[in-house]
Amino acid sequence: MPPQLYAFLTLKNTQMKTTDEVLVSEKEFVSANILKAKITQNGYGGGDSGHGGFVELEFEDLSSTDMEATFSKGSQSEPTKITLTFRGDCERDTLIEALEFFVQELKDY
């Protein structure tokens, strides 16, 4: 399995007039499919979304990953529900590994 990639970025949020250190981590999970998982986060922000803390999870199909996303009620930018569907046994296994990776990254930062 390829090594994890870590990158620190400094982003300036002009809307909230703050500068945050952002951690970007990604990892590939290989089975009959290849799923790339990427997490971008800046840790706790001290309150609700107006305080600037965020976590972004990204799944990318690098090969043969049967997945789909559904957005319900509202727009894609502000849905009330997001459904991710992974079909197949290998997709299930690589999803589990990716979710475990996300959880560990969140606990470590």
Closest CA to 27 of 88, 107, 103: 103
- Confidence at 13, pLDDT banded by 50, 70, 90: very low
Task: Indicate the pairing of strand 5-13 with strand 67-74.
Answer: unpaired
Check residue 23 and give its pLDDT: 93
Integer Cα distance of 74 and 65 in angstroms: 27
Look up residue 33 and give its amino acid.
Answer: N
Q: Residues 34-60: what's their mean pLDDT? A: 93
Per the CB < 8 A criterion, the answer to whether 14 and 5 are in contact is no
Beta bridge partners of 35: 29, 61
pLDDT tens profile 72-102: 877 667 888 889 999 999 999 999 999 999 9
Assigned token pair, 59: 């799944």
Check residue 105 and give its pLDDT: 95
